[in-house]
Amino acid sequence: MATDLFYKTIAELGCLLETKAISSAELTQAVIARTKAVDGKIKAFNSFDEADALAQAGASDRRRAAGDARGILDGIPIGLKDVISAAGQPLTASSRMLANFVSPYDATVTARLKGAGAVIWGRLNCDEFAMGSSTENSAFGPTANPWDFSRVPGGSSGGSSAALAAGEAIATLGSDTGGSIRQPAALCGVLGLKPTYGLVSRYGLIAFASSLDQIGPLTRTAEDAAIMLGAIAGHDPLDSTSFKTDLPDYRAEATTRRGPWRLGIPKEYFGAGLDPEVNAAVEQAIAFYRGHGCEIKEVSLPHTQYCLDTYYIIATAEASSNLARYDGIRYGHRSKDATDALDIYFKSRAEGFGAEVKRRIILGTYVLSSGYYDAFYLRAQKVRTLIRQDFLNAYKEVDALLTPTSPMPAFKIGEKSDPLALYLCDIYTIGVNLAGLPALSVPCGFTGGGLPIGLQLIGRPFDEANLLAMAHTYEQAHGWSRRCPVL
């Protein structure tokens, strides 16, 4: 149970730090020791800089001693998915292409966390360039699910979810292009929030699909997610797609709003392919909300069946262009065998990228190529409009949607070798990215085999406060979020 420091929440640790019951140095030491003890089995980290983390913790303690503590995050160790830049630290995207790359600048989220006093801790494994749903596509090897080492932690932010579930960080950041925060959160039994597109700056996030990517927190509780969101959200002049909007006090809203809410159950999300145990857990969660006084209503998102195709066209097209910069010229892997400048491209990219990245670059290049643009990319953008409309129509009747996060619990490493089968893991999460909506996954039970199950709540644009309040309300009545794997 959660008696160890490294299994506590930000909210709890914030109190302990504030009352000086513990120091950030102690907490950071505890997290480092835990990481050293368990990461040989989990392999959540691509790298960590112990001395740097302890220096940050020391600085936090000195601030606090001087009465200059910056708030609840001051001194809390936060892990970053290895696609989020931190100045002077490696940034690999779990790719051989960037194996030796050191970033000279902070992502906006990193700068904001540092500004809040957080201890930036470690670079977390993921699918290469965030392309995948299992963290098996990492050039540095797969990450294991802390609940069952033979299973995947989900992906692409699998290192972020596994590290958190294993007590190797107090909270982490992930990125979500088609479910990459929510699905690993579900598979590892933690909470993962994908914010509304434009709420959190993408500056310093290695781009996969620019119009879909969004950074978000993985935490133990909704309250922690609210704290993290409060720190990283808000307009950034360095990201042209970032929104100027007034932000609520997410933590206060999440912990005080009680609903009841009008909740929609999209019928298309409960069809064939949904694991019965997952279905049962989600049904129970629905029952809970009904019992809480929420109006539950079946709704329809008629274009759901087109989400996957739309997503794979848009995401791969954007990715093929975003990943063109990895060419071995200015930085990154350069092939030793290249004889001329053109050769550097072909060979460096062949050697630097893994199979899934190559597949997606090929697909994305193809759908944009001469003669195919209208049939694929342009058509997908139009279908995207219809998909978004589906959600906005549903919100005329309900405040949020309730669905499973993943059609199945964590599967075995190596089990899904066919790309298409793996792409189907994202069917409940990708519509949200296409529509630019906020959504979170909150633990809602376990399978008979002891694997976590996630409930997905999908909200109106910029309605994170209500989603977090819904999740908080649920957590208050259930113990799922307090369960820890035995390691």
Partner 1 sequence: MSTAPDLDIEHVAKLARLALTAEEKATFSAQLGDVLHHIEQLAKVDVTGVEPTAHAFPLVNVWAEDVARSGLSAEAALRNAPVQRDHMVVVPKVVE
Partner 2 sequence: MNYEAVIGLEVHVQVKTNSKVFTRVAAGYGQPPNTLTDPVVLALPGTLPVMNKAALDAIIKAGLMLGCEIAPVCKWDRKNYFYPDSPKNYQISQYDQPICVGGSVEIELPGAARNVMGEHRRVPLARIHLEEDVGKLNHFATESLVDYNRAGTPLMEIVSDPAMHSAEEAYAYLTSLRATMIYGGISDCDMEKGQLRCDANISIRPVGETKLGTKVELKNLNSISFVRDGIAHEIKRQVAVLERGGALVQETRDYDGQAGTSQSLRSKEMAHDYRYFPDPDLMPVKVDDAWKSRIKGECPELPFAKQRRFFETYQLPYTLTSVLVWDRELADYFESAVKIVGTGKAQAVGNWIVNDLLRELGQAHVGVTETKVSPAHLAELVELIDAGAILSSGAKEIFIEMFATSDAPSAIADRKGLRAAATDSGELEQWCRDAIAANAKAVAEFKAGKDSAINALKGPVMKASKGKADPKLVDATLRRLLAS
Residue type present at position 237: P
Contact between 73 and 10 under an 8 Å Cβ cutoff? The reply is yes
Asked if 319 is part of the footprint of partner 2 (rule: CB under 8 A), the reply reads no
Residues 219-238 that bind partner 2 (CB under 8 A): 237-238
Asked if 43 is part of the footprint of partner 1 (rule: CB under 8 A), the reply reads no
Asked if 340 is part of the footprint of partner 1 (rule: CB under 8 A), the reply reads yes
Residues 338-377 that bind Mg ion (CB under 5 A): none
Residues 453-482 that bind partner 1 (CB under 8 A): 461
Q: What is the DSSP letter of 374?
A: I
From the list 43, 81, 347, 416, the catalytic residue is: 81
Residues 160-179 that bind Mg ion (CB under 5 A): 178-179
Asked if 245 is part of the footprint of partner 2 (rule: CB under 8 A), the reply reads no
Contact between 142 and 150 under an 8 Å Cβ cutoff? The reply is no
Shortest CA distance to 209 belongs to which of 282, 315, 59, 292?
315
Residue of the chain from 93, 111, 444, 471 that contacts partner 2 (CB under 8 A): 93
Residue of the chain from 257, 262, 359, 478 that contacts partner 1 (CB under 8 A): 359
The residue range among 40-48, 55-63, 267-275, 318-326 that interacts with partner 2, by the rule CB under 8 A, is 318-326
Sign of CA dihedral 23, 125, 277, 473: positive
Interface mask (CB under 8 A) for partner 2, residues 188-207, using x and -? --------------xxxxxx
From the list 180, 320, 441, 481, the catalytic residue is: 180
Residue type present at position 130: A
Half-sphere exposure of 240 (CA within 13 A, CB side): 2
Asked if 362 is part of the footprint of partner 2 (rule: CB under 8 A), the reply reads no
Asked if 377 is part of the footprint of partner 2 (rule: CB under 8 A), the reply reads yes
Task: Report the Cα 325 to chain-centroid distance in Å.
Answer: 24
Three-state DSSP class for residue 128: helix
Interface mask (CB under 8 A) for partner 1, residues 218-257, using x and -? -------------------x--xx-x--------------
Sign of CA dihedral 95, 97, 98, 100: positive
Among partner 1, partner 2, Mg ion, none, what does residue 205 contact (CB within 5–8 Å per kind)? partner 2
Is 180 among the catalytic positions?
A: yes
Among partner 2, partner 1, Mg ion, none, what does residue 180 contact (CB within 5–8 Å per kind)? Mg ion
Is 300 among the catalytic positions?
A: no
Residue 335 class from Cβ within 10 Å (0-12 exposed, 13-18 middle, 19+ buried)? middle
113-116 long-range CB contacts below 8 Å, 24 or more apart? Answer: 113/73, 113/78, 113/173, 113/231, 113/232, 115/70, 116/70, 116/71, 116/73, 116/74, 116/231
From the list 95, 103, 134, 156, the catalytic residue is: 156
Structure tokens belonging to residue 465: 């406060």
Residue of the chain from 84, 113, 233, 413 that contacts partner 2 (CB under 8 A): 84
Q: Per the omega criterion (within 30 degrees of 0), is the bond before 24 cis?
A: no
H or E element in which residue 156 lies = none
- Residue nearer to partner 1 on the CB measure, 241 or 279: 241
H or E element in which residue 166 lies = none
Asked if 386 is part of the footprint of partner 1 (rule: CB under 8 A), the reply reads yes
Inter-CA distances, 317 with 321, 365, 418, 419, Å: 7, 6, 21, 17
Residues 143-162 that bind Mg ion (CB under 5 A): 156
Residue of the chain from 50, 58, 99, 101 that contacts partner 2 (CB under 8 A): 101
Catalytic center residues: 81, 156, 180
Residues that bind Mg ion (CB under 5 A): 133, 156, 178-180
Chain positions contacting partner 2, by CB under 8 A? 83-85, 91, 93, 98, 101, 103-105, 107, 202-207, 209-211, 237-241, 317-318, 320-321, 324-327, 329-331, 341, 345, 365, 368-370, 373, 377
